[in-house]
Structure 1
Amino acid sequence: MIGLLAQFVLFDGFDPLDVIAPYEVLAAGGAFADRGVEVELVSAEGPRQVPSGLGLLSLRATARLEPDRADLVVVPGAVGALPDGAGDVPEDSIPAILARTLDTPLPGLLKQALDRPGRTVATVCGGSMVLAMAGLIGGRTATTNQLGLAALAATGVVAVDARVVDDGNLVTASSVTSGLDLGLYLLERELGPRVAHAVERLFAHERRGTVWRDTGSVPTVTV
């Protein structure tokens, strides 16, 4: 019986590893859990072939993002040129690729997902910047690639330099490889630590770092 639906968002220029790593982890979780997990590749526009930022590599979205149906919505970052530091934003740069998502139905659908009780929106790497640039997570805690933390903070987000940040219905992960850690943490949150541990052993990957939450004692020394 399907108990958990995770929709992975594709947009033009997405980073394939941001999608595939947590996709495989969550899909594997379905083999170990009696609740069951279904994973889908989706886009804001519906079924289509979606080009990644890696040349000829593309993935097919088989459905439209449906915030009223998905339990988890996972947003990846992008692949492209890095900012040149001179203030220019080339069309093939990561900031430009992410900014183009604002001209699609994606921000409105992500807002619906964040507004619906019981839904969780998760991001990998620059995926949190999509939400931030759309004005959806101002004042909330989140992370992104280290190169983008200042830009994330400039949008009004409380940027945290951590591998994974849990802010309730918003769970964000930092660099591209953190998609594995994000997937395992989401399995632990949704299906329990025993299922997450089984998948961790299957993938021979030990999660890195502490999942940051805004709880507990405040450190008296900053490092």
Structure 2
Amino acid sequence: MKVIIYVYDGITMLDAIGPYEVLRNMNDTEVYFVAEKKGEIKADSGFIDINVKYGIDEIKSADILVIPGSTIGFMKEMKKDRVLKWIKEVDKTTSWTTSVCTGSMLLAAAGLLAGLKATSHWKPINLLSDYGTIPVRERIVEQEKYITAAGVSAGIDMALYLSEKIVGEEETKAIQLAIEYDPQPIFDAGNYSNAEENIKKIAGAKLTKDAKKGIGLLGMIQHSKSILKIMK
């Protein structure tokens, strides 16, 4: 089983590492981190770098494709015709094409989710409709061979969901135990539908601050209505 995780500057690291920790534990599986160009990739926090060994010119096929999200970096990736073309080419070879958080925006921009339901992080989720995709506020959405996950931590749940489909319940339970994934949050505030309005406002302010920092880290990004929607 060949798994590709596409990474790029400004990525939210858990979007990639969460699914990686699950999928790498499936039997007979190889995971490849792939970037537009191999080399150093910076996370959206500005504090973590990863050294990517493969560029998109070197990897053209996969059984599973994972597209992680980011605070603002996904906007830059969505404008790269070369990257979108590569995503579409790899998608032709996959059994499953997946995303975490705003990674679904890249799939939508590539034209893969037109007419389908998909999810994303709660703040920019409505941008999906700009590409003919139907946004739904659910943790995991499966449509044909496409599985999209909500924000950040949802990538772990998505990977376990996918693992169960591929290797079955018993092995997936063993993977869950191996990574000791037993979430017991102290507050019931992690779901947009359950969160109080004042909590949404505070969280939104934190995300806007991160978005502004992300623009600075990534250099000049052409402002658009989409970016303004995210910043609000």
Instruction: Tell me whether the two structures share a fold, i.e. TM-score over 0.5.
Output: yes
The alignment status of 1:60 with 2:51, answered yes or no, reads yes
Mapped partners of 2:55, 2:166: distance in 1: 23
1:43-122 map, 5 Å: 43-45=35-37, 47-65=38-56, 68-79=60-71, 94=72, 97-101=73-77, 102-103=79-80, 105-116=82-93, 118-122=94-98
Q: Deviations over 1:35-66 (max 9, x none)?
A: x1111111133x21111111131112111346
Corresponding residue of 1:187:
163
- Give 1:146 deviation, angstroms: 1.3
Corresponding residue of 2:214:
none
Corresponding residue of 2:15:
18
Q: Deviations over 1:84-125 (max 9, x none)?
A: xxxxxxxxxx2xx21211225210111112233x43211000
Corresponding residue of 1:202:
178
Mapped partners of 1:140, 1:207: distance in 2: 30
Residue number among 134, 139, 142 corresponding to 1:163 in the alignment: 139
Deviates more, 1:65-74 or 1:133-142: 65-74
Moved beyond 6 Å, runs of 4+:
none
CA contact (8 A) 2:5 2:33 kept: yes
Aligned-partner residue type, residue 43 of structure 2: S
Relative to its length, the structure with more helix (as a share) is 2
Mapped partners of 1:64, 1:191: distance in 2: 29
CA contact (8 A) 1:74 1:123 kept: yes
> CA 1:53–1:104 in 2, change beyond 3 Å: closer, same or farther?
farther
CA contact (8 A) 2:118 2:134 kept: yes
CA contact (8 A) 1:67 1:112 kept: no
Unaligned 5+ segments in structure 1 are 80-93, 209-223
Q: How many residues align?
A: 182
Corresponding residue of 1:5:
2
Residue number among 147, 152, 156 corresponding to 1:176 in the alignment: 152
Unaligned 5+ segments in structure 2 are 185-232
Corresponding residue of 1:130:
106
Corresponding residue of 1:40:
32
CA contact (8 A) 1:99 1:133 kept: no
Aligned-partner residue type, residue 147 of structure 1: K
Other structure's SS at 1:40 match: strand
Aligned residues with identical type, % of pairs: 28
